Amino acid sequence: MSDATHRSIEPVVLRVLVAAFTIFIIGYILVPILVTLVMSFNNAAMIRFPIANWSARWYADFFASGQWTDALKNSILIALGTAVISTTAGVLCAWAFQRFHIPFRDMWYILIMMPLFMPGVVLGLGVAIAFGGLSIGGYAFYGSRELVMVAHSLWAMPLVFMLMEATFKTIDYRIVEASHDLGGGPVRTFFEVVLPLVSTGIVSSMLFAFVISLNEFVMALFLTDRDTQTLPVLMWLSLRSAGTPRLAVASVILALTVFACLTIIMLWYVRQLRKVSR
């Protein structure tokens, strides 16, 4: 076979392989989600397939249950708090690494990134042991939402830091210097010039942190009690006793929340692109 024939076949083979791999990945992601969605409409008392009778009774059961709605509320509140804490800390750390000379820079970088590579069981147990007996003004931190927020931020903050560090490198710093030349102080320049330039990265970071906290299970299992347990924790506890379609309903709610966050990220990104192209 000639070299010209080889060159003509290679792009076709590459396109076929890319298409096959893409279909496999999409199927691998979507099939479990679709199966879970279908099972949430099962009228039976247990998760069984195939479905004999279709019903939305388990959605009504989920939202009528105070235990499950409280767990969903806890998950959302903890995820919101984690998003605020990790995004604030991650943005400020990334800006400091980008703009200032920091002694022992490599050591600090390793310390910031280290929690991301630690197992959740290690972090959860460590936080529980370190802060389990801590109380301020009679308020016990163990079992509180605030403690779980801080623990989840150990995973979320390094991701925010990495994303924002890359985002800050895309800024045209002549704009920042121009703001300083016109009398804008460091704080005013940061809030009025820098943050609008990296708003897409900030929104993406906050939503990623929200999703990470919403779906985190291991640390929440160590750090929550009956009043503050999150939806993934309650799902795991319920799975050990009875696998009802209520679990599928909870899974669908979590999946829809993740899809909503991804949609917001994409819409915000498209909006910023349209602004730039004008």
Instruction: Give CA 214 to chain center in angstroms.
Output: 7
Q: In sequence order, what are the beta bridge partners of 198?
A: none
- 140: which strand partners? 135
pLDDT at 3: 53
Task: Quote the pLDDT of residue 8.
Answer: 57
In 3D space, the residue among 142, 138, 144, 190 whose CA is nearest the CA of residue 164 turns out to be 190
Sign of CA dihedral 18, 19, 20, 23: positive
What distance in Å separates the CA atoms of residue 199 and residue 215, rounded to the nearest whole number?
24
pLDDT at 88: 94
User: What are the tens digits of pLDDT across the range 4-30?
Assistant: 555 555 667 778 788 888 888 777 777
Phi/psi zone of residue 229: left (φ > 0), alpha (ψ -120 to 50 degrees), beta? beta
Q: Which positions of the chain have pLDDT values less than 70? A: 1-11, 48-50, 242, 275-278
pTM: predicted TM-score of the whole model, two decimal places: 0.85
Domains and CATH numbers, the chain: 66-277 (1.10.3720.10)
pLDDT in tens, 187-228: 888 888 888 888 888 999 999 999 999 999 999 988 888 888
Rounded to the nearest 5 percent, the helix, strand and coil shares of the chain are 75, 5, 20
